Every structure is written in structure tokens, then in C-alpha cells.
């Protein structure tokens, strides 16, 4: 994958992460059941995947189901898992046709065998594609991600295969779910909330944060362009002075 410096248009984020919020409120506002909102959210996700591909985004990470979402009513959780299976059965052929590489991150041990099987099948089907990389966070939490990395490092140190003195940021980052991908440049959260809700805590350290009141099922190409325009106007310094950032961009 090319580095940001080699991006044909540096104003376009290489990696966009999205917290898709507002499905339930969208449905409630229309007198519809929550399930209708989640189905509309899947349709919006499909549109944004295509739109990001057309705009030159290389990686799109969607927060589909968090570690905390397991606390929701069992009936709703079951419905969401069923919807995930249906979406995979319906969408994978088209994603593959478009050259999208599909990946899943999260604690798979908590998912049903049916969901895990569909995920593995979809990943295998699209593994060799070279277009947009679509990362779906399912049963995922940023704290879980960092804890799992720390546990792996501790086990390696205890086994004597890793010197504790060698532990640094790069080593930790290499044990996280997005180890082989660039960190998100832009985080989009829909639905009017102003928090990142335990999503990619390590990786979002220097992301530009874009919050919108638009509910996820209503987030379309035009709304995406507003987020990308916001990003294009940002000065990304990564701790440097404005002068240093300008010199680095030349």
C-alpha cells in the first residue's frame, strides 16, 4: 500500500473510519421498528463503500457492532447477527466484483458459528483483491484490542522469546488488529454524539474527528463529501510546528 506522501491527492484521506450511529432513531422518527433502521443502515454502508472507492480512499473501517453492544436486548442482538449473515450472503459477490478486500476485526469467540463461517468465507473470497480494503469491526472494542495485544506480548516475554526491554510503540502496534494497515486519517461519527465509543483507541491518536447530526441511514455521497472537505481543510501537524508541517508537505 502506498504511503500518504505517494497518494495522488493528499487531500483525500488514505484511511477513513466510521462510527455508524443513528439507525434506531432514524427508524423511530418514521414510526418504523428498529430493524428497519438497521436494514437502512446496511444500504447506507453499501453506498459509502462504493463512494469511498470512487474518491480514492484506500481503507474504510466501519464500526458495525461493539463489545458493549452485547449488553443490548437479546432479541435485538440476535436480529443484528441475522442481518449480518444476510448482508454477507447478499453483498459479497458484488464486493468481490468491485475488487474490494473484506476483513473483519473483533472477538470472534463471542460470535455464533454461522456468523464466523460467513465471515471466513467472505474474507477468503476477497483476499486477493487489490481495490478498497473494507474493515468491518464486529464484536470489537479498542480496549479489547489493546488488552489482547498486551496479553500476547506478556506471553512472549514469559516464554523468553521477547525481551521486555524491546517493547515499544511499534511492537505494540504490530500486535493490534490493524497492524498491517495505516492508521485512520479521518474518523466520521454520525448521529450527533461527540465521542469515539471505544473504537480503535490506539489507531485514532492523530485522526481528524468529524461529527455530524445526520443519522447513519441518511448519510449519503453528499454528506461524505462534506466530511472529506472538512478533512482537506485541516492542517495535519503530528506535533510539529505549522512551519515544519508545511516544509514536510513540500
Q: Which residues are catalytic?
A: 21, 69
Three cell numbers at 202? Answer: 490506539
Closest among 136, 150, 132, 117 to 45, alpha carbons compared? 136
Separation of alpha carbons 136 and 119, rounded Å: 10
Q: Is 3 exposed, middle or buried (0-12, 13-18, 19+ CB in 10 A)?
A: exposed
Three cell numbers at 178? Answer: 490493524
How far does CA 186 lie from the centroid of its chain? Answer: 10
Q: Give the containing element (helix H, strand E) for 62.
A: strand 59-66
The secondary structure of 151-176, three-state, reads HHHHHHHHCCCCCHHHCCHHHHHCCC
Write phi, then psi, for 196 (nearest 5 degrees): -100, -5
Q: What angle do CA 130, 131, 136 make, to 5 degrees?
A: 105
Separation of alpha carbons 153 and 175, rounded Å: 8
Separation of alpha carbons 48 and 103, rounded Å: 16
104 three-state secondary structure: strand
CB 62 within 8 A of CB 75: no
Amino acid at each position: 500500500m502506498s504511503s500518504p506522501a505517494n497518494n495522488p491527492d493528499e487531500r483525500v484521506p488514505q484511511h477513513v473510519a466510521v462510527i455508524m450511529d443513528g439507525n434506531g432513531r432514524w427508524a423511530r422518527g418514521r414510526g418504523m421498528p428498529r430493524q428497519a433502521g438497521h436494514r437502512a443502515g446496511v444500504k447506507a454502508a453499501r453506498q459509502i463503500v462504493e463512494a469511498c472507492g470512487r474518491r480514492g480512499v484506500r481503507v474504510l473501517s466501519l464500526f458495525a457492532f461493539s463489545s458493549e453492544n452485547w449488553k443490548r436486548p437479546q432479541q435485538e442482538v440476535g436480529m443484528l447477527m441475522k442481518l449480518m449473515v444476510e448482508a454477507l450472503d447478499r453483498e459479497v459477490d458484488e464486493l468481490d466484483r468491485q475488487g474490494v478486500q473484506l476483513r473483519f476485526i473483533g472477538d470472534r469467540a463471542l460470535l455464533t458459528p454461522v456468523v464466523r463461517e460467513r465471515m471466513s468465507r467472505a474474507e477468503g473470497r476477497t483476499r486477493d483483491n487489490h481495490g478498497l480494503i473494507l474493515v468491518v469491526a464486529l464484536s470489537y472494542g479498542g480496549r479489547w484490542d489493546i488488552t489482547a495485544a498486551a496479553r500476547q506480548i506478556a506471553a512472549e516475554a514469559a516464554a523468553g522469546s521477547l525481551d521486555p526491554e524491546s517493547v515499544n510503540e511499534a511492537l505494540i502496534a504490530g500486535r493490534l488488529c490493524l497492524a498491517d494497515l495505516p492508521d485512520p486519517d479521518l474518523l466520521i461519527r454520525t448521529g450527533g454524539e461527540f465521542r469515539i465509543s471505544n473504537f480503535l483507541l490506539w489507531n485514532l491518536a492523530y485522526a481528524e474527528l468529524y461529527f455530524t447530526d445526520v443519522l447513519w441511514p441518511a448519510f449519503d455521497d453528499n454528506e461524505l463529501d462534506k466530511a472529506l472537505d472538512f478533512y482537506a481543510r485541516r492542517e495535519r501537524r503530528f506535533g510539529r510546528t505549522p512551519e515544519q508541517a508545511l516544509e514536510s508537505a513540500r
